[in-house]
Structure formats: C-alpha cells, structure tokens
C-alpha cells in the first residue's frame, strides 16, 4: 500500500520513481532554482548567430524572432504534461514517453533518447568555443592586416604561387604560435575529423570543472548558476540595448527582406525554392537554441512544490529567452550588417566578443571584459546542459528505457553515473568540434535532428494524455487552442528538419536519423535482457493505470499511428521538395 508524504507525493517510490530505499534526487529547489539552472539557454544564441546569418542573410533577425515565438507557445504544452508527473525528473521527453508507451515500446524511448542527443552536445560545443577564447587570449594569431603579416608578405609573398587570400592565410599560419597547430593525435572518421589539440584539452578541463560544481547536487548548482547568470544576462541585455540607444537602428541592414543568393554571401536572392530552403535551414538550426528553455521542467522531482513551481519555471524562463533571443540578434544585425556577420570569426564564435566591444564602442579593456563574459556565458550553458541531460539519462534508467547503472545518485542527490556518461560521450564530440568549423556544424545539425524528433513526439503527446488520462488532475491546463497549435508546430518543425538539415551538411539528416535509431539496441538490452520484458512496477502508477494489463487500453485508437506516418511523409516530402 502506498503511503503519502506531507507534500501529497507518494513515498513508496522516491522522487525519481525508483523503489523506496534506493538513492534518489532531493526536493531542494523551487521554481527560481530551476530558472537559474535554465539561465544558460540565452547563451546558446552565441553558438549559431553567425551560422544563421550566413545562411539566411537579412532574414536572420526574423528567423530568431519567429523561432522564439514558436518555442514560447510550445512551452505551454510542456507545462501541462510536466504537471502530470510530479515524481519524475528528466524533462518533457520523459513526460511525453509516458503517453507513447501505450502505443509502442520503441517510440517511447525514442523521445527520451532524442532529447538527450539534442542536449548533451552543448557540453562539447560550448567547451570548444570557450577553449578558442582562452587560446586566443594566451596565444593569439595575428590579424590579416597586422604589421607582422604585412612584413612577412613583403619578404616571402613574391615567391608564393597562389592567390592573395591564400598568401595571407599562409602568413597567418606561419606567424601563429605553434600551440595553435599542435595536436597529440588527429584522424578522419567518415564525414568528420577528430583532433586532440590544445583546444581539446582546454575544453576537457572546463568540462571537469562543471562536473565538480554539479557533483554537489541541484541546490548547489542552482546557487552557483545564479551568480554566473547575473554576470552574463545583465551584460547581454546591456549589449543588446545600448547600441540601439546610442546609434539607432540601421534599417538598411534589414532590407530587402529576402534570402541570400547563396550561402555565406551578402548578395540578396529571391523567394524561390533555393531561397525558401535557406530560410527553412535557418529555422531548423535556430530551434536548437530557442526551444531549449523547456529544460526548466527537467527538475520536477526536485521541486519542493511541483504543482506550483513547474509552470512558473518554464514560463519565466521563456520570457527571459523571448527578450534576449529577439534583442541580441536584432542588435547584431543592425550594427554589423550581413557583411560583418559573415566574418568567419563570427561564424565559429571566436570573434563575437570583439564584435560586442565594437557595438558598445569599447576599447581593448572592454573587449577583454567581454571575452570573460563570453567564457562565463558558455560555462553557464554547459552547466545547464549537463544538469538537464544527466537527469534525462537518470530518469530514463529509472523508467526502464536506458541501462540500469544510470539510476545511481550520490549523497548530494546528483546523478553522477549519468554525468560521467555525459562527460565521456562529450569528450569524443569535443575532439570533432575542435578539429574544424565543419565538424562543429555537423554535430549541431545531427543533434538538432534529435531535438526536432523529440519535439514532434512531445507536442503530440499532450493530446494523447488528454484522451488516455482525461480524469487525472492537472495543476496547469493549457488552453486547448495552444495544444492544437503545438500539433501544427510539430509538423512545421518536421518541415524545418527535412528541408534544412542538409544546408549544414549533406548527410546531416540521415546521420541524425541513424543516431536516433541507436536507441533500439540500447532499449532492447535494458527491457528484454536486464528486465525480462517487464517495465518497473512504478511505471504503471506513473501512467495512472495501476497495472500492466490496463496499459493496453488505447483510447486514442489509431490516431497516434496516423500522426507518426504523417510525420514521416512530411519529412521525406520536404527533403525532396526543398533544394538549393
């Protein structure tokens, strides 16, 4: 018989749904703690602001605004399904999986897995950019127009049989500190390269620092992130506002409102098939950042009062992102123009601090301060990613989707084995991201394929929950019109993926689908080998059905399967229709 705690939550299972007596997450934060844990999301704009500008030209600011509005409206759906599971951690993917498991054992873990492969690369990608900043601070390479480069070209340029641009590149390479080209090991693996270079080792050290902070549990993590967030968010807001107040808006940088003629060129194009493909590619990659504040509901089982805290956490995190994801890209474009945003240093993130300093009219001191701001912003996003993605692994293990070893937590309530798994996986990804910019955006595109799949499944899980769990109390009930809009957005997101993934890498879509399918052997090992084909007993309580036999009652009928088939058709049609 299940007893009830003073908070009205079952005590026969722990906060993550594991049997009583096992190690468990601690209910130690309220919505503000989750808000601070999610405060690293606005920094994700720095990952792809240059890449999106390169592929969408003058549309870039509009891409960010539309994407952020879509993400904000979708969040109301996630707030409702999160309220159904006050004992679960791991975020919307876990809550959505509980809807799909009645209809397919394989679709449900796909939701959890795709959310994890979407979030976990933030660690490696963020560390690669932060490492580039640190490397630039201690071993800078000369600028193309510097006196050293000019002197080198005067001495050696005449003997080189190559274009002027290649001569300049050769001069920069010759004058750069050797540590920038040093590597312990490098190789090529399929479409990507790997390198254990200086940036890799700096990035790995940053990951270990984040791990050490989060080892103390969610309360300690939230307290640390609060102060880092204040150091990051306030300057980001200032950088977004001050240039507009002092210089006004340069409307010429926003017109004509058409896609570029080709990727990474400032020349305006037209609203033809190629133009729409580039615009959809921008919407595809922007979603990886703008939707990400849903991580605020990763901590439901760690809220002191989940009924009240869940909605507040995602709503106020969404408002913060709505402001910064709109303001920062708009100001960037107003000040730099498309030509300025096509600078390779903006594309790979390493030159964003210098651009920010130029925008606010600062000198070297201001630029140095902004470099520190950038590093802190990236560390903040890394902390957000590790906190959220490790809890997705943890809850996936507790619920029977992922291997059992991931369910362990330490004495502080931190899921340390999941964190170590995150760390090990991201060291491999870091080696790819540090090799070259091509590898960086390949990882980003593959990761986002997983994110779009997760969003598709979870936006549709809400109406399945409404049908199958109609009588279950909902602390927050989203307006039906927003749930319906979420279903529409789920298919629009699939169009973004089908049309846009190939913009970032020709094989990104197929690599993303293959990566998503990797959950099948992982789940089969856990479910059929470790658990003998049975789900953990608490799973049925989570589904509000009580017994395994009751789980076979599928009130939604064939409609979930119709949605899956329709999603696949839309994906393939978009991929075939939209081409450059």
CATH number at residue 468: 1.20.1740.10
The DSSP annotation for 450-466 comes to HHHHHHHHHHHHHHHHH
Residue 565 in any domain: the answer is yes
- Flag whether 22 is in a domain: no
Domains in the chain: how many in total?
1
Residue 51 pLDDT greater than 80, yes or no: yes
Range of the domain at 511: 34-142+197-577
Contact 181, 434 (CB under 8 A): no
Question: Per-residue pLDDT for 104 more than 50?
Answer: yes
* 347 against 428, higher pLDDT: 428
Instruction: Judge whether 270 lies within some domain.
Output: yes
Q: Looking at 318-322, 354-358, 539-543, which range is the least confident one?
A: 539-543
Mean pLDDT of the chain, nearest integer: 83
Residue 89 near residue 78, CB atoms below 8 Å = no
Helix (H), strand (E) counts: the chain? 22, 2
Q: Is the pLDDT of residue 72 over 60?
A: yes
Q: Are 13 and 4 in contact (CB under 8 A)?
A: no
Average pLDDT over residues 181-209: 88
Q: What are the phi and psi torsion angles at 343 (to 5°)?
A: -55, 130
Average pLDDT over residues 262-284: 92
Mean pLDDT of 136-161: 82
**176 within domain boundaries:** no
User: What is the distance between the alpha carbons of residues 535 and 89, in angstroms, rounded to a whole number?
Assistant: 18
Average pLDDT for 207-221: 75
Structure tokens that stand for 490 in this block = 């789920």
Listed range (133-137, 487-491, 502-506) with the worst mean pLDDT: 133-137
pLDDT band at 554 (very low <50, low <70, confident <90, very high): confident
CB within 8 A of 382, min separation 6: which ones?
40, 122, 123, 126, 127, 130, 206, 207, 210
How deeply is 292 buried, as exposed, middle or buried, from its count of CB atoms within 10 A (0-12, 13-18, 19+)?
A: buried
Q: Report the alpha-carbon distance of residue 206 to residue 422 in Å, rounded.
A: 14
CB 287 within 8 A of CB 510: no
Q: Round to whole Å and give the CA distance between 27 and 25.
A: 7
pLDDT over 90 (residue 569) = yes
How is 540-568 classified by DSSP, letter by letter? HHHTT--STGGGG--TTTTHHHHHHHHHH
Nearest 5°: CA angle at 286, between 285 and 288?
75
* Residue 340 covered by a domain: yes
Let me know if residue 10 belongs to a domain. no
Q: Is the pLDDT reported for residue 151 higher than 50?
A: yes
Say whether pLDDT at 428 is over 50: yes
Q: How many CB atoms lie within 10 A of CB 391?
A: 32
Backbone φ, ψ for residue 422 (5° rounding): -55, -45
Query: pLDDT at residue 519 above 60?
Result: yes
Q: Is the pLDDT of residue 370 over 90?
A: no
Read off the pTM.
0.85
Tokens of 9: 């939550």
Instruction: Identify the band that residue 258 occupies on the pLDDT scale cut at 50, 70 and 90.
Output: very high
Helix 218-247 with 364-398: angle, nearest 10 deg:
140
Do the domain assignments include residue 181? no
Token readout for 294 is 């849903």
The answer to whether residue 404 scores a pLDDT higher than 80 is yes
Higher pLDDT, 529 or 168: 529
Q: What angle, rounded to 10 degrees, do the helices at 364-398 and 107-119 form?
A: 160
pLDDT band at 254 (very low <50, low <70, confident <90, very high): very high
| Residue range 518-532: mean pLDDT, rounded | 92
- CA atoms of 40 and 43, how far apart (whole Å): 6
Whose tokens are 């950042």? That residue is 289
pLDDT band, residue 349 (cuts 50/70/90): low
Among the residue ranges 203-212, 219-228, 396-405, 571-580, the one predicted with the least confidence is 219-228
| Closest C-alpha to 121, from 396, 466, 501, 382 | 382
- The pLDDT, as a whole number, for residue 204 is 93
- From residue 540, how far is each of 99, 467, 537, 549 by CA, in Å? 12, 17, 6, 9
pLDDT at 551: 62
The percentage of the chain sitting over the pLDDT mark of 90, rounded to a whole number, equals: 31
Annotate 390-451 with DSSP letters as a single string.
Answer: HHHHHHHHHTTSS-GGGG---TTS--HHHHHHHHHHHHHHHHHHTT-HHHHHHHHHHHHHHH
Cα–Cα distance, 254 to 270 (Å, whole number): 15
The single residue listed with the structure tokens 């709503």 is 315
pLDDT of residue 502: 92
* Structural tokens at position 430: 């870091």
Mean pLDDT across 438-443: 83
Is residue 215 situated within a structural domain?
yes
Q: φ, ψ for residue 72 (rounded to 5)? A: -65, -45
Split at pLDDT 50, 70, 90, the class of 8 is very low
Name the E strands within 174-322: 183-189, 192-197
Write down the pLDDT at residue 542.
62
pLDDT of residue 7: 36
What pairs with residue 194 in β-bridges? 187
- Res. 545 pLDDT band, cuts 50 70 90: low
pLDDT of residue 552: 65
């Amino acid at each position: 018989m299940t007893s009830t705690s003073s908070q009205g939550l079952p005590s026969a299972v722990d906060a993550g749904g594991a049997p009583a007596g096992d190690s468990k997450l601690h209910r130690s934060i309220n919505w503000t703690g989750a808000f601070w844990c999610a405060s690293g999301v606005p920094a994700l704009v720095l990952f792809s602001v240059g890449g999106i500008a390169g592929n969408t030209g003058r549309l870039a600011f509009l891409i960010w605004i539309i994407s952020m509005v879509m993400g904000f409206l979708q969040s109301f759906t996630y707030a409702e399904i999160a309220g159904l599971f006050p004992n679960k951690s791991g975020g919307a993917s876990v809550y959505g999986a509980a809807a799909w498991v009645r209809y397919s054992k394989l679709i449900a873990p796909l939701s959890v897995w795709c959310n994890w492969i979407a979030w976990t690369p933030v660690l490696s990608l963020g560390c690669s950019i932060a490492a580039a900043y640190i490397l630039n601070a201690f071993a800078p390479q000369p600028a193309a127009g510097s006196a050293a480069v000019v002197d080198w070209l005067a001495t050696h340029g005449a003997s080189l049989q190559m274009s002027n641009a290649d001569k300049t590149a050769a001069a920069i390479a010759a004058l750069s500190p050797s540590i920038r080209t040093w590597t312990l090991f490098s190789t090529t693996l399929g479409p990507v390269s790997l390198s254990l270079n200086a940036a890799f080792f700096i990035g790995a050290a940053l990951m270990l620092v984040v791990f050490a902070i989060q080892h103390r549990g969610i309360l300690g993590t939230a307290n640390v992130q609060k102060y880092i967030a204040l150091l990051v968010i306030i300057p980001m807001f200032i950088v977004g506002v001050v240039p507009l107040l002092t210089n006004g808006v340069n409307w010429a940088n926003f017109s004509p409102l058409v896609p570029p003629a080709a990727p990474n060129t400032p020349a305006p194009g037209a609203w033809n098939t190629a133009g729409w493909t580039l615009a959809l590619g921008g919407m595809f990659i922007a979603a990886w950042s703008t939707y990400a504040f849903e991580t605020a509901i990763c901590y439901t089982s760690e809220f002191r009062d989940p009924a009240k805290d869940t909605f507040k956490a995602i709503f106020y995190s969404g408002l913060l992102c709505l402001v910064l994801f709109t303001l920062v890209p708009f100001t960037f474009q107003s000040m730099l123009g498309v030509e300025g945003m096509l600078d390779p240093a903006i594309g790979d993130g390493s030159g964003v601090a210098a651009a920010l300093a130029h925008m606010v009219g600062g000198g070297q001191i201001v630029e140095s301060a902004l470099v520190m701001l950038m590093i802190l912003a990236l560390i903040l996003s890394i902390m957000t990613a590790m906190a959220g993605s490790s809890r997705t692994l943890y809850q996936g293990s507790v619920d029977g989707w992922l291997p059992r070893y991931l369910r362990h937590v330490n004495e502080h309530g931190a899921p340390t084995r999941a964190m170590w798994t995150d760390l090990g996986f991201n060291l491999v990804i870091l080696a790819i991201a540090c090799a070259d910019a091509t590898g960086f955006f390949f990882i980003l595109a593959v990761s986002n394929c997983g994110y779009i799949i997760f969003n598709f499944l979870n936006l549709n899980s809400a109406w399945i929950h409404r049908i199958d769990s109609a009588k279950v109390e909902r602390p927050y009930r989203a307006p039906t019109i927003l749930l319906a809009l979420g279903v529409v957005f789920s298919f629009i997101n699939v169009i973004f993926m089908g049309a846009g993934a190939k913009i970032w890498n020709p094989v990104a879509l197929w690599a993303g689908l293959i990566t998503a399918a990797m959950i099948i052997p992982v789940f089969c090992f856990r479910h059929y080998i470790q658990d003998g084909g049975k789900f953990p007993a608490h799973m049925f309580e989570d589904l509000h059905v009580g017994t395994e036999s009751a789980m076979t009652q599928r009130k939604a009928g064939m409609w979930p399967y119709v949605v899956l088939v329709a999603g696949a058709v839309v994906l393939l049609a978009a991929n075939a229709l939209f081409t450059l």
